[in-house]
Amino acid sequence: MPNARLLPLAAAAAAVLVSAGSAAAAPAMTTAQAHAIVAPLYEALNEPMKKDVAGLLAKAANPDYRSCSTETDCLGRDALAVQFKAFGAMIPNLHWKIKDLWVSGDRIVVRGEATGTPAHDFFGVAPTGGSFKTISIDTFTVKNGKLSTAYHIENWVAAIAQVKGG
């Protein structure tokens, strides 16, 4: 009976696959671990002209990190560092806080709050001396302990209205 000889081998292979699958399953990410992963990115957004933004983003994100504002408009990690610096030039006192953070598997969702007073043209609005406080929602995917992708939205319409005095 040739099949009878294969039965122990098949059982052993199944046991290896089951145990490998169990060993490969990563433990759930805690809120504290998620906060530690995203914190350098948000630190880079606090007065970015005074920071090593590229270094902070390298600490937080994988080299192939993609930050997307739409399904097709994405920036890599290096281009994002340039954009953060541009925001810092436009809004020297820019601050970004993590207000809430949720974790699900390899995903992190952050409700953030951005504040600042533009010193230069702000989305087509000349500086008025007015400040803004607005919300952001960021969804991140984590791979190998660092950020892999992000999708984000900020309420710049409300921020512009506040700067205009509305």
Strands (E), the chain: 61-68, 74-76, 95-104, 107-116, 132-143, 146-154
Q: Does 28-164 carry CATH code 3.10.450.50?
A: yes
Q: How far apart (Å, rounded) are the C-alpha atoms in residues 105 and 123?
A: 36
Quickly state the pLDDT bin for 12 (edges 50, 70, 90): very low
Q: Give tens-digit pLDDT for 18-39.
A: 333 434 455 789 999 999 999 9
Give yes or no for a contact between 141 and 149, defined as CB atoms under 8 angstroms apart: yes
Helix (H) or strand (E) holding 14, with range, is helix 2-24
Residues 6+ apart with CB under 8 A from 93: 47, 116, 117
For all residues of the chain together, what is the average pLDDT?
Answer: 88
Does the model's pTM come out above 0.95?
Answer: no
pLDDT tens readout for residues 88-116? 999 999 999 999 999 999 999 999 999 99
Q: In terms of pLDDT, which residue wins out, 20 or 41?
A: 41
Burial call 2-38: b when 16+ CB within 10 Å, e when fewer: eeeeeeeeeeeeeeeeeeeeeeeeeeebeeeebeebb
**Residue 70 has which token pair?**
């739409």
104 bridge partner residues: 107
Give one DSSP letter per residue of 93-131, joined into a string. T-EEEEEEEEEETTEEEEEEEEEE--SS-BTTB---S--
Domain residue ranges of the chain, discontinuous segments joined by +: 28-164
Q: Which residues pair with 149 in a beta bridge?
A: 66, 141
The CA angle 97-99-102, to the nearest 5 degrees, is 125
What percentage of the chain has pLDDT greater than the value 70? 83
